[in-house]
Structure 1
Amino acid sequence: MQRLRNLTRRQLLLLGAAAALGVAIGASALAGFVGVALAVVGVTLAGLAAGLLLALHRLAVLGREQRKALRDQRGVLEQTQRRLLGAVEQMLLTAGDRHRDLTELLATGQKTTALGTDRLLRAQTNEVEALLQLFGGFTPAAPMPPSGGFALNPTDLLDLLDLIRTRRPKLVLELGSGTSSVWIAYALEKTGGRLISLDHEPGYARKTRLALAAHGLTGVAEVRDAPLRPVVVDGRTFPWYDVEAVADLREVDLLLIDGPPEKTGKDARYPAMRVLEDRLADSATVVFDDAHRQDEAEALRKWVETIEGLTSEGEALGRHAVLSYRRIVRQMAPTNQ
């Protein structure tokens, strides 16, 4: 009974039809209608054969559809696998390229860092050696102001003081005061020269004066306030030191150009040689600090090209360039009487 309850309606109808045919065949045989019974049996067998053929046809169709579905699924699976493998391969190639690039970048960075560290160590060693030589040549009467930063480095100071020692200038004009002013004053105290320093910042000028006084160098060096004023050079207006601050100066043997600072404007130091050429001695030395910077390098090039008698003394040492100035005096042609 449980099995009958689980049958579908179609299955129950088929079962009922089979039972009815069985009853009909049995009844016909019992009634003596053998021919009818055989006919019913034949029709039943024919129906069963037809049903079997139909079932086999349906199974064949289902088999074909299933095989087609399997082929389609296999094709989709194979295509998905190919795409997945291609994506994985591309990822691996990209990862490999990225790994190689990162490895090269790291190697380059390590090499650059090592090179930079080596250069820094050499530079620090040079500065320490220069500082030892500076203090070996002088015995300061008070603590020296710090060097470096905006002030001249020890290597540049050492080179500058050697120029003073060997060329023995009587008058040094410094544009921009500070640590270098004290060192220059000590050198000039030995050689018998004099220093005039200009500064556009009253605070810096006062600080330098106090340092010179602390070292007992006020008899050798003087700091003058020179606020920035407009000056016209080559058709351009520049903020530059007040020319009244140098109105009394003549025969400057050594000119140190260490100002105005870069922040005061483009080509801030270009006017120096144009304004001060007439105040230089016939034979003078010009020291141009920060000559490696673009504005200063361009100013240096223009000066050498356009100022007669101004020549560069080789390549710049440290951050400054050294130039020689020889005044060219042209004699007047004699006039016919």
Structure 2
Amino acid sequence: MVNEIDSVLECGSGLSTVFLEVMKRETLLSKSLTLEHSVQWWTHVKSVLAKHQLGDESIALCPLAGNWFDLNPLKPQHKGFYDLILIDSPPSRTSPEGRYPALAKLKDFIRSGTWIILDDFNREHEQNIVQSWLREYPIALIEKVSIDTGLAVMRWI
């Protein structure tokens, strides 16, 4: 999987955002985009990136519109397909099924072969979301990873 990944879109920022920027600096990744809905967290992550002299142009402040990110703030350079989509937001406190719209809302970023990782798969709501996606979209569940809060690793067919 690693050799196939050149671009990453992540929903929700944090340590992974810093890691993605390090990968870009080291030319291990050509493109990333992070969607963040919280102004406070967006500001914090941008300051961490600046502290480590990493770029912050790939983290987009996209407030929630209903239960999903408002994608209107995205810039032209953010458009296009991504090899990997990491879904770790919106938080469950906004809506238990808040991550369900991800595939429908991100369809313009997905192509055949795109990897999709859903975090917090140990939660019942996330398991239900994956079951719905498997029925509704051309994806395959490749692996369930039982670390921390769990991951569902899927691939768009």
- Assess same fold via TM > 0.5: yes
* TM-fit CA distance, 1:170: 2.7
How many residues align? The count is: 152
Percent of matched pairs sharing the same residue: 26
| 1:170 corresponding residue in structure 2 | 6
1:189 maps to which of 21, 25, 28 = 25
- CA displacement at 1:181 relative to structure 2: 0.8
Mapped contact 1:209–1:222 kept (Cα < 8 A): no
Which structure 2 residue ranges, 5 or more long, are not aligned? none
Q: CA deviation at 1:247?
A: 6.9
Provide the residue aligned with 2:55 in structure 1: 218
Residue ranges of structure 1 left out of the alignment (5+ in a row):
1-162, 231-238, 327-337
Q: Give the one of 277, 282, 288 matched to 2:107.
A: 277
Where has structure 1 moved over 3 Å in runs of 4 or more?
245-248
Structure with greater strand share of residues: 2
Across the aligned residues of Structure 1 and Structure 2, the Cα RMSD in angstroms comes to 1.8
The structure richer in helix per residue is: 1
- Aligned mate of 1:242, from 41, 54, 70: 70
The structure showing larger relative contact order (alpha-carbon pairs under 8 Å, at least 6 residues apart) is: 2
Is the contact between residue 20 and residue 29 of structure 2 (CA under 8 Å) also seen in structure 1?
Answer: no
- Corresponding position of 2:37: 200
- In structure 1, the residue matched to 2:140 is 311
Contact 1:284 1:325 in 2 (8 A): yes
Partner in structure 2 of residue 298 of structure 1: 128
Amino acid at match of 1:313: I
TM-score by length of 2: 0.87
Separation (CA, whole Å) in 1 of partners of 2:23 and 2:52: 13
Shift in alpha-carbon separation, 1:167–1:288, aligned structure 2, 3 A: farther
Paired residues of 1:312 and 1:324 also in contact (CA < 8 A): yes
Alpha-carbon shift at residue 196 of structure 1 (Å): 1.0
Partner of 1:157: none
Q: Deviation per CA, 1:237-268: give whole Å up to 9, x if none.
A: xx110021447421111100000001001201
